A and B are shown apart, each in its own frame.
Chain A
Amino acid sequence: MPPLVALYVRELRLSVRIGGGALMGVLFYLIVVTTFPFAIGPDLNLLSRLGPAILWIGALLATLLGLDRLFEADRDDGALDLMVASGQSLELLVIVKVLAHWTATGLPLVVAAPFLSLLLAMPVDVTIATVATLLVGTPALTFLGAIGAGLTVSLRRGGLLLPILVLPFAVPVLIFGVAAATAVAYDPAAFRTPFLLIVAVTLTAAAISPIATAAALRNGLD
């Protein structure tokens, strides 16, 4: 197996085995989204209007939840040392780890969103739009989170610091995501601009994050 494919397979295996984070994120998502209808009450119009925002906030929090272990586990058992010393490009390694992490934790959120939208009385077109924005937006959250995970890797219990570092950069994704999904209910033509902006944020994050994360990881090795 080529090195980076082997890494991808290993990351996926780890995330579905004991101690992995694949199911944890989606369960957390379920908890967050199902509590909203209880708090808001039986006003279905209000609920369906808030639907995209609830799904997006849930996805954002669920993504942040698992990110602190992205590099920490490998650092703790010495695997990160071997990876850095291996001579493989650290930037490529970061991309593969982020993609594997997104496949294991981000993709299940996208898949779960249509089912959770039933709980929020969301119309079909808004649901489709929300799923589309989550599909292109959640990779940006993982890429941005990787920078935070790289920066906090050498800190014990850096888990709480990470959301504080990452959240300001994740806010534009949230704004455009909810704007695009909500727009569909009023004016389908208004979907395009915020949607393209999320795509732009995702591509920017994908370009910057590997370089920034690799630099943070190199600095964090002592």
Chain B
Amino acid sequence: MSQPFQPFRLVVEALGVDRGGRRVIEGVDLTISAGDAVLVTGPNGVGKSTLLRALAGLGRPVNGSVRFEADGVGDPDEVGRHVHYLGHRDAVKPALTVRENLAFWQDFLGGEGGAPVEAALEVVGLLDLADLPAAYLSAGQRRRLAVARLVAVRRPLWLLDEPTAALDAASEMNLVRLMTDHIERGGAVVAATHLAIGLAGTRSLRLVAGETA
């Protein structure tokens, strides 16, 4: 569908992150290269979301570093512009239409190489609702609109935090297919999810209270 990504590596070294004055992530070492799929698992409250946020460059790590290394990347510390972060909240404005919501993020995050807005909405099955204010969408449809962002804006690394929350079975399958396509094109996915991704080379990163294994 679109161009393969050039090889890249996300290098995480001795990462430590505090949340609410408490050390949540301690000493995480991780390298994610093109074509990787990493599932972050662990019990509630162990720091899966905090880890993904730290990888996306949200919140400053207490120690350690997250670097994005690839040819032509000037500043490896500027991780944010190479990743997609799909958090718990969908970043959907109820007052804007479905199309306006997606078009804004495409313009704001940079649409080069991504699918056009209509095509991205088609992929997640929201094209019929394109001109409806997002206030009328169900939770699952809002989630699909957030997923459409992954298609409309081209970024090599996807950080997905419980991406299947509120999605029905068909949309889940669709998301897995999108992730598979993305990985085949040389992208990488880090997901905090219980979803089984049918892909060779899926790694699992299990967080346990107090340390990582």
Contact = CB atoms under 8 A, between A and B. Distances in A.
A78 B80 contact: no
Given A3-B108, A85-B80, A85-B85, A78 B90 contact: yes
B205 interface: no
Given A82-B105, A221-B59, A87 B89 contact: no
Q: Tell me whether chain B's interface is mostly helix, strand or loop, or mixed.
A: loop
Contacts of A221: 58-59
Interface residues of A, number: 29
Interface string B56-90: 11111000000000000000001011010101111
Nearest to B93: A14
B11 interface: no
A81 B108 contact: no
A19 interface: yes
A35 interface: no
Given A3-B110, A83-B108, A86-B108, A222 B91 contact: no
Interface residue tally on B, bucketed by range: 20 to 34
Given A2-B107, A3-B107, A79 B83 contact: no
Q: Tell me whether chain A's interface is mostly helix, strand or loop, or mixed.
A: helix
A85 B89 CA distance: 14
Contacts of A164: none
Interface string A40-78: 000000000000000000000000000000000000111
A222 B100 contact: no
B168 to A, nearest CB: 21
A1 to B, nearest CB: 4
B104 A85 contact: no
Interface of B: 19-20, 53, 56-60, 78, 80-81, 83, 85, 87-96, 100, 103-105, 107-110, 135
The 9 closest A-B CB pairs, nearest first, are A78-B89, A87-B81, A6-B107, A17-B95, A85-B80, A79-B91, A87-B80, A1-B107, A78-B91
Interface of A: 1-3, 5-7, 9-10, 13-14, 17-20, 76-79, 81-88, 218, 221-222
Given A78-B89, A86-B81, A222-B59, 16 more contacts: A2-B107, A3-B107, A3-B108, A5-B107, A6-B108, A9-B104, A10-B100, A13-B96, A14-B93, A77-B89, A81-B58, A81-B87, A84-B57, A88-B108, A218-B60, A222-B20
